[in-house]
Chain A
Amino acid sequence: MLTTRLYMLQRITALVMAPLVLGHLAVMIYAVQGGLDAAEILSRTQGSILWLVFYGSFVAAVSIHAAIGVRVVAFEVLGLNKRILPIVAWCVFLALMILGLRAVYAVTLSGAGL
């Protein structure tokens, strides 16, 4: 099932995410004070290369990380056939990657007119 390669990938992406998640959580705790507002979020993020890199790397890492994780759970809990597993993993990866990058694009680049 899990070989060293997948295991390492999952661990490395987890390590990449850890500071990002912490940062994200800190921002969230700060941001939700007094309610959420789209304009407020966008004013912070849009046009910022920093946030682009921040959320971009999160999306990349989480797509890999979750794809591997879901693959394991699908195998161990749902007992999915080993031939279907790579398909499941790739689907999760691509879905997260596409949706994620689109979101990052939306909140960081789209309004900046780039």
Chain B
Amino acid sequence: MSQDLSVSVWRSETNAFQEFAVPAQKNQTILDVVSWIQANSDPTLSYRFACRVGMCGSCAMMVNGEPRWTCRTHVKKVLKSNNLEIGPLRNLPVVKDLATDMDPFFDKWVEAKGVFESTKTRHDDMEPIIPDAPERMAASAAIECINCAVCYAACDSVSGNAEYLGPAALNRAWSLVNDVRDGAYEERLEAASGAGGCHNCHSQGGCTAYCPNELNPSASIAGLKKETSRNWFGWGRS
């Protein structure tokens, strides 16, 4: 099509953005732009993707300064006077160029006790759960997270406070607090009350504004704050 896109891409070797001209196409995502550069212009460019349809959460980058899943971000949506600036996701160590090390993100997921504790075994019947019971709805509201770390990159509490578990991990913890099958309520509240816990969220709302799956980690964290507050007064489970 008409004009080439002018794309600046972060390079870790030089610690600077590098300019590329990329042919514009009708159906083009940011991931396509990055792939085009690696395939045609600079074979040493590093980035990460897997599913290419917004399911695996491994392709997130900063696009014009905003965290986004790149495989489902159409160029049209973010192009600013024909310019794009693509960098690695904020708040995570960079492995190379556009690929970050996501381990801290997942370490915190585990630290927030974002893991189900079973009370039954594979030989037991399944828990009957009414789909529109309030706890089920609350757990369900937070569950469709693809752990892409977009929210983690949007959050300045994460940037300011290395201990802070971050929106995704706490969102998962909240989903489990509402899961009637789970057996680790106390431990999870404790994990959410620790030095890196939910109280370090300053309700900046970036997590919710940027979550590509339209989840609301901000509300989940508020839920944890309320639950831990009740617990602090010894009022028990809400």
Contact = CB atoms under 8 A, between A and B. Distances in A.
B160 A8 contact: no
Interface string A1-22: 1111111100100000000000
Which of B157, B197, B199: most chain A Cβ within 10 A?
B199
Given A8-B229, A8-B232, A2 B199 contact: yes
B200 A2 contact: yes
Interface class of chain A by DSSP: helix
Contacts of A4: 193, 197, 199, 228-229, 231-232
Given A4-B193, A4-B232, A76 B199 contact: no
B160 A3 contact: no
A12 to B, nearest CB: 10
Contacts of B195: 1-3
Contacts of B193: 3-4
B194 A3 contact: yes
B163 interface: yes
Interface string A37-48: 000000000000
Contacts of B160: 75-77, 79
Interface string B152-164: 0000010011011
B163 A1 contact: yes
7 contacts: A1-B164, A1-B200, A4-B197, A4-B232, A8-B229, A8-B232, A77-B160
B196 interface: yes
Interface in A46-98: 75-77, 79
Contacts of B225: 7
